[in-house]
Amino acid sequence: MRFFVLSFAFVVSLLGLNSCIKHEVIPPPNNTVNLDCNFTGYINGTQVEFTQNVNNYLGNTGQETFVQPSPLPSRRVFMFEMISPSTPVSLRLKLGALNWDLAANSEPSLTMFNDFNINAATTPPSYSNGAITGFEVTYTDANSAVWLSKENNPMPQTVTFSNVKQQSDGSGDYSFYDCNFSCYVYRIDPQTNNLDSLYIQNGKYHGWFKR
């Protein structure tokens, strides 16, 4: 009888010990896109390269939205740039505009976003001031001077988008691309009021736009 009581107590203690063990909960894998970006090209004859996480360069994306009452189309311009807190030197691309009816959709749908970016790869956009109807380049130099491309430029300028790929994660919807371009960018010299220009040649940008 004493043996039975001791055995029963041992079994109960084992059951109690097992009930105190906390099982590890493994969270489901987190689906995140790889926000990797880089730029290479020649600016005024000097080779320039921006690489993510080198000299603190990171990709930054944004939008400009111009809302109009239906049935007039609202417009959205997409922006991507590589910037660094260590230097003012940066290069920004804009592409626009995605047009949509605000009465039908409060925001452009994912299908609209995808079609807009695929169309840019199918039909090269024209240069456009403010990127309202096409493509714009903004270059900021080491003195924080801002240089802009311009539409209807008699000087040669080209742009092509390729390798467009849409991906989504918990933070949003992205359209990745490679953008190759060459163009002149301009600024007004504050001392002389003359129009100065720089030539960006064989610019190669790998970046993204966010819906």
- So what's the pLDDT on residue 32? 87
- So what's the pLDDT on residue 179? 98
121 phi, psi to nearest 5 deg: -80, -30
- So what's the pLDDT on residue 83? 98
| Contacts with 96 (C-beta within 8 Å, 6 or more apart), sequence order | 64, 75, 76, 77, 78, 128, 130, 131, 132, 133, 134
- Measured distance CA(121)–CA(163) in Å, rounded: 8
Low-confidence ranges of the chain (pLDDT < 50): 2-12, 14, 17
- Measured distance CA(44)–CA(111) in Å, rounded: 39
- So what's the pLDDT on residue 11? 47
Which amino acid makes up residue 190?
P
90 phi, psi to nearest 5 deg: -155, 165
Give the model confidence (pLDDT) of 127-160 as tens digits. Answer: 999 999 999 999 999 999 999 999 999 999 999 9
With tokens 């203690």, the residue in question is 13
- So what's the pLDDT on residue 26? 59
Give the model confidence (pLDDT) of 104-120 as tens digits. Answer: 999 999 999 999 999 99
